[in-house]
Amino acid sequence: MMVNINRQWCKGCGICVAFCPKKALSLDDEGKACHNPELCVECGMCEQYCPDLAVSVEKTAKAKTGKEAA
């Protein structure tokens, strides 16, 4: 999964962090969202709830099939 965070658009509100069910998002030292792919379950909640459209999610083979890509 590719979670892309546009740091110019991110205002550090923390909404994506609050809605992430696996805590795969956090705010860095600059107050911007950052993503930990090892914790991510590819649900897309971060993209759905970001009020500034700073988060975009591109599904991978894992998300489409439920299995890791070979």
Over residues 2-61, the pLDDT tens digits come to 899 999 999 999 999 999 999 999 999 999 999 999 999 889 999 999 999 999 998 776
pLDDT at 67: 59
Q: Which fold has domain 2-61?
A: Alpha-Beta Plaits (3.30.70)
Q: Could you give the C-alpha distances from 28 to 1, 3, 14, 35, 60, in angstroms and in order?
A: 20, 16, 11, 10, 25
Degrees to nearest 5, angle at CA 3 with 24 and 1 = 90
Total-model pTM: 0.78
Burial (0-12, 13-18, 19+ Cβ within 10 Å), 48: exposed
pLDDT at 1: 66
